[in-house]
Amino acid sequence: MAILKVARIGHPVVRERARDLTQAEIGSAGIQRLIDDLVETMHVYDGVGLAAPQIHVGLRLAVIEVPPYDERTQDAVPLSVLVNPRVTLLGEERSVGFEGCLSIPGLRGQVPRHLRLRLEAQDRHGEPYSLEATDFFARVIQHECDHLDGGVYLDRMDGMRTLSYLEEFEKHQVRSDDDDE
Ligand code: NI
Residue 1 has what pLDDT? 80
Three-state secondary structure call for residue 144: helix
* 144 in catalytic set: yes
CA of 117 to the centre of ligand 1 (A): 18
CA of 130 to the centre of ligand 1 (A): 22
How far apart are the C-alpha atoms of 28 and 36, rounded to whole Å?
13
CA of 30 to the centre of ligand 1 (A): 23
Residue 71 has what pLDDT? 66
How high is the mean pLDDT in each 10-residue block of the chain (181 residues)?
94 98 97 97 95 98 90 82 98 96 97 98 98 95 98 98 95 67 73
Residue 96 has what pLDDT? 96
- pTM over 0.75? The answer is yes
How far apart are the C-alpha atoms of 43 and 25, rounded to whole Å?
24
Q: Are 110 and 97 in contact (CB under 8 A)?
A: yes
Q: Which residue is catalytic, options 144, 168, 170, 181?
A: 144
Residue 68 has what pLDDT? 84
Q: Which residues contact 22 (CB under 8 A, 6 or more apart)?
A: none
Residue 181 has what pLDDT? 73
Burial code of 165-174, b = ≥16 C-beta within 10 A, e = fewer?
Answer: eeeebeeeee
Residue 67 has what pLDDT? 86
Residue 153 has what pLDDT? 98
**Beta pairing partners, 10:** none
Q: Which of 133, 132, 109, 122 is nearest to 181 (CA)?
A: 109
